[in-house]
Structure 1
Amino acid sequence: MGPVELFALGAAVLLVAGAIKGMVGIGLPAASISLLTLAVEPRVAIALVLLPMVVSNGWQVWQMGGIGLALRRYWLFAAVLAGVILLTVALSATVPDRVIFLATGLSIVLFSAVNLRFEVPELGLRFDRLAQGVFGAVAGVLGGLSGIWGAPMVIYLTARRVPKDEFVRATGLLIFLGSVPLTLGYLRQGLLTAELAAVSALLVVPTLIGFTIGAHVRGRLSNDGFRRLLLYVFLFLGLNLVRKGVW
């Protein structure tokens, strides 16, 4: 598939994924990567989403403010996440596509299940550093393989019972801080070529347009009902990727 076709496909997908993120606040990597892998190889899908992930989540963090406080609270999670993502990308550069399909599918299934029904027990403050290290490492492995590490992050933040605004700030920060080393890892391994990087940069525009549209119409929809329907769609897409990884 040439750059023009990649951009056309990516623009349609990122417009939808950006709108989803604008409407329900979650799901940009899960939506875009799961849809793109229906037409392109998984590493190509991840490469196309890299710069939209960096820019959209950097923008989200900047809008929320309180960056310094969030960094002080979650620096351990962020450091482990970044280090493990870099290591995983380096070690998995020659992993077969079916393994990437499997990791991506499992990430999306876990992401959907956690947000649909899973009740996370509360985590006390005295276990916080241990939890940040463990969940940061799991998120890093999933992120390095599949580009999606939302589920371990959501489980950790939910277990800590963080307030809504802090949850949005922390998720944006941790996705941003994970997407930067993921991008660097793809560059070092030659997985983010000049052509893919150019297309990925152009895809920032439809992503932000979709995000703006989604945020604008959010108040007119039943947010919870739409979110649940969307997560069931993610679950189906994730299970299909698991199937492709197994058979």
Structure 2
Amino acid sequence: MNTNFVILVAVTFVLAGLIKGVIGMGLPTVAMGLLALTLPPAEAATLLVVPSFVTNVWQLMAGPSFAALARRLWPMMAGVLVGTVSGAGILAADTAGLASVGLGIALLLYAVTGLAGLKLHVTARHEGWLAPLMGVTTGVVTGATGVFVLPAVPYLQAIGLEKDDLIQALGLSFTVSTIALALGLLRVDAWHAGSLWMSLLALVPALAGMQAGQALRRRISGPLFRTVFFLGLLLLGLYLAVRGLA
């Protein structure tokens, strides 16, 4: 096993776990963004499955309202599953940099919405038709890029959840997305023994980073950290999109 590769994976997941510990999300986004600088997107996606699943289940089970959220959000989660499994072939067939461009654009959009502080509002009467649409769209983006956040995060922020319920809902969405991504990668034969082993190993630095991030969250300004985080994603997304088009 290449030592430089192991170091790359360890550093990537410590940083990704650190960010997730501070703001409650961002592990797959940061991991995909950094790993895709040196790895094909499909290979990068296989490495994040185990750390993403474990950290998101941890986040999901820490909240008080799992049953109520599952009943409310199941149409969205079903859409995520269908969209991700269907779209995984785009990620695995990245021969011309298409998935790299898609990942870059997804990161750019996510960063811009975060920096702009956009606040949307969805009324309860629109959730019935909007939830599955947001789920399928999130799933297709996930299947094509490995990034779980768009449009799931803005939608969940817009439906009026309280802080603790929002954190738990994000954990639910990201957990379903991780499972669906794993199934999609299996469907297109993107898994191999080495990637599973490295994904298991990546769990250790991811958990270490997450613990450090939770400690750091109590010491620094949340708004300042989020600004730096989104600026970093903006630059990273721009680089990936331009590189994929070159």
- Deviation, 1:5, is 3.8
Residue in structure 2 matched with residue 221 of structure 1 by the alignment:
220
Q: C-alpha deviations, 1:190-238, integer Å up to 9, x for none?
A: 2121100100011111101110011012111112101111110101101
Alignment match, 2:161: 162
Alpha-carbon distance in structure 2 between the residues aligned to 1:113 and 1:213:
27
> Against the structure 1 CA distance between its residues 214 and 97, is the aligned structure 2 distance closer, same or farther, given a 3 Å change threshold?
farther
Report what 1:102 is aligned to: 101
**Who is 1:39 aligned against?**
38
Q: Secondary structure at the match of 2:151?
A: helix
Q: Which residue of 2 aligns with 1:66?
A: 65
Report the TM-score when normalising by structure 1. Answer: 0.94
Structure-2 residue corresponding to 1:83: 82
- Which stretch of the first structure deviates more once superposed, 157-166 or 116-125? 116-125
For residues 81 and 18 of structure 1, the distance between their equivalents in structure 2, rounded to whole angstroms, comes to 23
Cα distance change of structure 1 residues 179 and 117 upon mapping to structure 2, 3 Å threshold: same
**Against the structure 1 CA distance between its residues 198 and 97, is the aligned structure 2 distance closer, same or farther, given a 3 Å change threshold?**
farther
Moved more, 87-96 or 150-159: 87-96
- 1:136 and 1:48 map into 2 onto residues whose CA distance is 23
Superposition deviation, residue 172 in structure 1? 0.7
Deviation at 1:176, TM superposition (A): 0.2
Counterpart AA for 2:6? F
Give the conservation status (yes or no) of the 8 Å contact 2:104–2:241: yes
- Give matches, 1:119-198, under 5 Å: 119-198=118-197
- C-alpha contact (below 8 Å) 1:114/1:151 kept by paired residues: no
| Cα RMSD (Å) | 1.5
Sort the Cα spacing of 1:223 and 1:92 in 2 relative to 1 into closer, same or farther, 3 A: closer
Do 2:41 and 2:146's aligned partners in 1 also have CA atoms closer than 8 Å? Answer: no
Aligned residues: 246
Classify the secondary structure of the residue corresponding to 1:220.
coil
AA in 1 matched with 2:92? A
Separation in 2, partners of 1:23, 1:89: 29
Spell out, residue by residue over 1:160-187, the C-alpha distance to the aligned partner (whole angstroms, 9 max, x if none).
1221111101011000011102112212
**Structure 1 stretches lacking a partner, 5+ long:** none
Amino acid across the alignment from 1:58: V
Unpaired runs of 5+ residues, structure 2, are: none
What is the rounded CA distance, in whole Å, between the counterparts of 1:242 and 1:60 in structure 2? Answer: 31
In structure 2, distance between residues paired with 1:3 and 1:179: 26
**What TM-score, normalized to structure 2?**
0.95
